Chain A
Amino acid sequence: KAGVTQTPRYLIKTRGQQVTLSCSPISGHRSVSWYQQTPGQGLQFLFEYFSETQRNKGNFPGRFSGRQFSNSRSEMNVSTLELGDSALYLCASSFSGATGNTIYFGEGSWLTVV
Chain B
Amino acid sequence: GENVEQHPSTLSVQEGDSAVIKCTYSDSASNYFPWYKQELGKRPQLIIDIRSNVGEKKDQRIAVTLNKTAKHFSLHITETQPEDSAVYFCAASRSNDYKLSFGAGTTVTVRA
Binding site for B on A (CB under 8 A): 31, 33, 35, 42-45, 48, 50, 55-56, 58, 90, 92, 94, 96, 99-108
Contact = CB atoms under 8 A, between A and B. Distances in A.
Nearest to A106: B43
Nearest to B97: A56
Interface residues of B, number: 25
Contacts of B100: 33, 35, 43, 45, 92, 103
B45 A103 contact: no
12 contacts: A43-B91, A43-B105, A44-B102, A56-B97, A100-B95, A100-B96, A101-B32, A101-B96, A102-B46, A104-B46, A105-B36, A105-B43
B98 A90 contact: no
Contact of B104 (A42, A55, A94): A42
A101 B104 contact: no
B99 A56 contact: yes
Given A42-B104, A42-B105, A103 B43 contact: no
A55 B89 contact: no
A100 B102 CA distance: 18
B100 to A, nearest CB: 6
Contacts of A107: 42-43
